[in-house]
Amino acid sequence: MVFLEEKRPRKAVAWLVIMIMLPVAGIILFLIFGQNLRKKKQSALKSARDHRYIEDLLARHRIDRLTEMSSLDKVGMGEHDDMVSLLAHSDNAFLTNSNCVSFFSDGHDFFDALFKVIEDAQDNVNVQYYIIRNDKLGNAFLDLLKRKREEGVEVRLLVDGVGTRLPLWKIRELREAGIMFEIFFPPMVYVLPFLNHRINYRNHRKIVVVDGKIGFIGGYNVGDEYLGKVRRWGYWRDTALCIEDMAVWGLQLRFLLDWNHASEQKMELEERYFPQNLSCTGDVPIQIVSSGPDMRWQPIKLSYLKMIHEAKDSIYIQSPYFVPDESVRDALIMAALSGIDVRIMIPDKPDHPFVHWVSYSYLSELLESGVRGYMYGSGFIHAKTIVVDGRITSIGSANWDIRSFDLNFETNAVLYSERVGAEQKAAFLDDLGRCRELTLADYENRTLITRGRVFISRLFSAIL
C-alpha cells in the first residue's frame, strides 16, 4: 500500500521506517495521514470540473491569460514576463493590471476593514475560511453575515471540515437564516471529529469577495487569537490585503470552483459575480495563483522557486512553518551562495511544537550557506509572504512547507510593483526589531533535549 500510494521514494522509505520502529502506531498513522487513494480520485474529478468553468469564464469575457503581459513594461516589470507565463500555464492565472490594493498587518485594522466592506454589500457576499472560531470575534462575524442575509444580500459561507468546528446548532441556525453554508471535505461523522480520516487535503484558503468588486486574501482566519486576545500567543502578526478591480475575478473564480465542489447548490458564472463596471483605477498588476492536490503541477511552489531564481539583490520570507522540500532548500542555498541577501523569519513561540522544531532545524541548516534566520519574539507571526528585490511580492494562505505545496488547497496573490515591494520590504525590516537572529552557534550548542526534539521531528517531517 505504501508503494502504491507514494511516488516519492524518500517519503515511502520514511513511512516504512516509522512502521518498523512503531509497528502498530505507525500503521495507524499511515491510515490517517498517508492513505489517499479516495481523495486522489475526488481531486481528479474536481480538476476536470474546474477546468471547464475556467475555460468558460475566459471565453465568455474574451480574456487571454497573457493579454495584459505588456502592462508589465509600463510599470518597469517587463523582466518578469516569464513568471507571468509560468503561472498562466500552470494555473490559468490571468494577469490583471489596474488593481488597487491596501495591506494589513494588524488584526484590528484588518477586521475593521473586512466588517465595513461586508456591511456595505449590496448583492452578494462569498466567504471561505479554514477556521472560524466559536468565540467572540467568530460569533460577531457570523452575526454580521446573518444580518446581511436579512437585508436581502445573498450570502455563501464555505469552511473546512477539520479547521472549523462550529456546533451543529449554530450551523442549523445559519442555514435557517438563509445563509448557504457548506463544509469542504466534511468528517464522516461531524459530531465525532476524531473519526475524520481526511487529515490531508484540507482547504486552507482565506477568501472573501463582496459584490464581485472587493476581495480579501491573506493569512487571517476568524477567531479571537487573530486580534491578539489569546494570552498564549500574545500579539498576532499577520499579513493580508484588500484588492479592488479585475484581480477580484480571480478570487471569485477560486471561490466558485471550491463552492461547486462542496455544494449541490451550484454557483454559475453570472455577471453579478463578475461585474464589468469596476471603478478602481489602480496601477498594481496581480495574478491570483492557487495550488492543491487537484492540480497537475504545484503552481505556488513553482512561483516561490521562480521568484528565488530571479532574485538579484534580496529575498525576504516570513512563514509560521518552514519545512521546505529539496528543491526549495537548494534554491535558497544557491541564492545565498550567489551573494543574494536571503533572510527568513519564523516564530520564536510555537503554536505546533512538532512543526516548530522541524522549522527550527531546517532554517538552522541553511545558515552555513549565508542565509540569515530570525525568530520573531513579539507574539506570534503567521504571515506567509515573500518579497524579492523589493519589486515582486507574494501574499496569501500558503506556508513554506510540504503540506502547503502538495496536500492543502491554497491561494496567493502575486503582485508586480516596486511600490508594493518597497512597502513589504520595509515591513519585514521593521519586524527585525522584534526578532532575535538565529546563529550557527545557537544551533550547535543546543541542549540534549532540543537535539532529541529535532531528531524526532525531522523523522516525522518526511511523512507530512
Residue 121 and residue 259 in one domain: yes
Q: Which pairing describes strands 322-323 and 400-401: parallel, antiparallel, or unpaired?
A: parallel
**What is the model's pLDDT at position 152?**
98
**What is the model's pLDDT at position 188?**
57
Residue 108 and residue 23 in one domain: no
Residue 236 falls inside a structural domain: yes
Residue 202 falls inside a structural domain: yes
Residue 27 and residue 107 in one domain: no
Residue 6 and residue 154 in one domain: no
**What is the model's pLDDT at position 30?**
76
Active-site residue, selected from the candidate residues 384, 401, 425, 431: 384
Residue 126 falls inside a structural domain: yes
411 vs 288: CA distance, rounded Å: 7
What residue ranges of the chain have pLDDT lower than 70?
3-10, 32-45, 61-71, 73-75, 188-200, 457-464
Domain end residue (candidates: 263, 283, 303): 283
- Domain extent, residue 14, equals 2-34
428 vs 318: CA distance, rounded Å: 8
Residue 457 falls inside a structural domain: no
Residue 311 falls inside a structural domain: no
**What is the model's pLDDT at position 194?**
44
Residue 279 falls inside a structural domain: yes
459 vs 205: CA distance, rounded Å: 28
Task: Establish whether 309 is a catalytic residue.
Answer: no
C-alpha cell at 19: 512502521
Task: Establish whether 89 is a catalytic residue.
Answer: no
**What is the model's pLDDT at position 68?**
58
175 vs 373: CA distance, rounded Å: 47
Residue 7 and residue 139 in one domain: no
**What is the model's pLDDT at position 154?**
98
pTM for this one? 0.89
**What is the model's pLDDT at position 74?**
64
Residue 328 falls inside a structural domain: no
Task: Establish whether 11 is a catalytic residue.
Answer: no
Residue 252 and residue 125 in one domain: yes
Task: Establish whether 384 is a catalytic residue.
Answer: yes
Per the structure, the count of domains in the chain is: 2
321 vs 342: CA distance, rounded Å: 17
Task: Establish whether 389 is a catalytic residue.
Answer: yes
Q: What is the CATH number of the domain that holds 123?
A: 3.30.870.10
Residue 135 and residue 24 in one domain: no
Task: Establish whether 352 is a catalytic residue.
Answer: no
